[in-house]
Amino acid sequence: DVKVTQSSRYLVKRTGEKVFLECVQDMDHENMFWYRQDPGLGLRLIYFSYDVKMKEKGDIPEGYSVSREKKERFSLILESASTNQTSMYLCASSYFSLPAETQYFGPGTRLLVL
C-alpha cells in the first residue's frame, strides 16, 4: 500500500512566522506535489517536483517555496505566514510512468494562521 505521510495534522502559527510542512512517501515515487484545498475553490497546485532538487511552480506559488533534497521527502515552506494562507495543505506523490501518474495523497495538514 502506498503511504504518504505529513508531519502534522493540525498547526497553528502566527502571522510572519516561518512554517515548514513536511511530506514523506514510501513508494519510491518520482513525482511529489503540494496542494492547498479551500471551500469553493477546490484543489489548487502550489508546487511539484519530478526529481530530487527539481521543482516546478504550480498555479499559486506566491508566498511559498519548496525543497526536495531526498527522493522520499518534499517540504513546503511558508517564508512569512499570512492569514490568507490558512488552509488545508495536501501532499501527493506519483510514479513517473503509466497509468496516468495517478496521485496518492497524504492525510492533509490543517494550518491556521492567526
Sites of contact with other proteins (CB under 8 A): 4, 31, 33, 40-43, 45, 48, 50, 56, 58, 90, 92, 94, 96-97, 99-108, 110
- Beta-carbon-side half-sphere exposure of residue 114 (alpha carbons within 13 Å): 4
CB of 16 to other proteins, least distance (A): 27
CB of 1 to other proteins, least distance (A): 11
For 22-51, b/e burial (b = at least 16 CB within 10 A) is bbbbeeebbbbbbbbeeeeeeeebbbbbbe
Q: Which residue, 69 or 99, is less far from other proteins as judged by CB?
A: 99
Q: Which residue, 20 or 96, is less far from other proteins as judged by CB?
A: 96
List the alpha helices (DSSP H) in the chain.
none
Q: Which residue, 4 or 78, is less far from other proteins as judged by CB?
A: 4
Strand order in the sheet with 64-70: 4-6, 19-25, 73-78, 64-70
Q: Which residue, 75 or 108, is less far from other proteins as judged by CB?
A: 108
